[in-house]
Amino acid sequence: MAKVKVIILRVAGTNCDYEAEWAFNLSGAYTERVHINQIIRKEKKLSDYQILVIPGGFSYGDDIAAGKVLANQIKIKLWEDIRKFIEEKKVILGICNGFQVLVKSGILPFGKDQQCTLEWNNSGHFEDRWVYLKVEKSISPFFIDLPDIIRMPVAHAEGKFLTKDKKTLEEIERNRQVILRYCDEKGKLRNYPYNPNGSIRNIAGICNENGLVIGMMPHPERAILKYHYPDFLRKKEENIFAPSFKIFKNMVKYFL
């Protein structure tokens, strides 16, 4: 059986591409780390892949705003390729900086002009720690069979999710496009420090209207094994794989 092909997009400042590659390789996929210029020059074709990953990091130094330069580059030079990719019901995953790119390009939440943003954290500084996340009953097929509450690390300065107006927020909620919310260890939605950035309604991740384009601020690729947890020595774990690993497996399984 042919392996699912994953393209991991690289630009200047990308720094989580190796972790994303490892997570998908472990899930049984074939991965390639590809610089955006290789696609622009037609050396690589986006259409040859089933999953596109825009990983974390600081693309182009987060000049102007986090993810904005790469978002503009995609809109100007790759929009038609991205549009066809989505129309063919392929999968896009944006993590942290990748999430910022997806919302600032307009790919999320509705595939048109920018409707949301990821603004500076309320704390005014970079937040780098583990958080609890409530898994919502969203339209995305990639979050089934996960526990109600999972843990992942965050590492961002601009992670505060906001919509341009209340109508947009209500449409996202009504469509069940919210995939994750920041919470406490019991699943209750609470403010800082549980919500590390002040996101409206504690939103940590969303998907598009068919659930196949995913954006999240927490890093699932940094929480693949229980050994990655900061307190793993205190617990005896029978299964070495953390729940967030299932997100990658579900994406690969979707094509099999």
Helix, strand, or coil here: 152? strand
How would CATH label the architecture of 5-254? 3-Layer(aba) Sandwich (3.40)
> pLDDT value at position 232?
85
How are beta strands 91-95 and 51-54 bridged, if at all? parallel
> Alpha-carbon distance 250 to 256, whole Å?
10
E strand segments, the chain: 5-10, 30-35, 51-54, 91-95, 116-119, 127-135, 149-156, 160-163, 178-183, 203-207, 213-216
What confidence tens digit (pLDDT) does each residue in 117-146 have?
A: 999 999 999 999 999 999 999 999 999 999
Where are the chain's structural domains? 5-254
What confidence tens digit (pLDDT) does each residue in 55-93 have?
A: 999 999 999 999 999 999 999 999 999 999 999 999 999
Q: Which helix (H) or strand (E) holds 19?
A: helix 17-26
Q: Structure tokens of 199?
A: 């996101």
- The closest of 74, 123, 82, 79 to 100, measured between CA atoms, is 74
- What is the Cα 67 distance to its own chain's centre? 13
- What's the mean pLDDT when you consider all of the chain? 96
- Helix pair 68-77, 97-105: axis angle to 10 deg: 50
> pLDDT value at position 173?
98
Tell me the pLDDT of the chain (256 aa) as tens digits: 579 999 999 999 999 999 999 999 999 999 999 999 999 999 999 999 999 999 999 999 999 999 999 999 999 999 999 999 999 999 999 999 999 999 999 999 999 899 999 999 999 999 999 999 999 999 999 999 999 999 999 999 999 999 999 999 999 999 999 999 999 999 999 999 999 999 999 999 999 999 999 999 999 999 999 999 998 888 777 789 999 999 999 999 999 8
> pLDDT value at position 236?
74
Long-range contacts, stretch 44-48, CB < 8 angstroms, 24+ apart: 44/7, 46/7, 46/78, 46/81, 46/82, 46/84, 46/85, 47/81, 47/84, 47/85, 48/5, 48/7
Residues recognised as catalytic: 96, 219, 221
**132 secondary structure, DSSP code:** E
> pLDDT value at position 1?
57
> Alpha-carbon distance 54 to 20, whole Å?
9
Per the CB < 8 A criterion, the answer to whether 208 and 109 are in contact is: yes
Helix, strand, or coil here: 140? coil
E strand segments, 59-176: 91-95, 116-119, 127-135, 149-156, 160-163
**114 secondary structure, DSSP code:** -
> In one letter, which amino acid is 194?
Y
Q: Structure tokens of 28?
A: 């049984």
199, β-bridge pairs: none
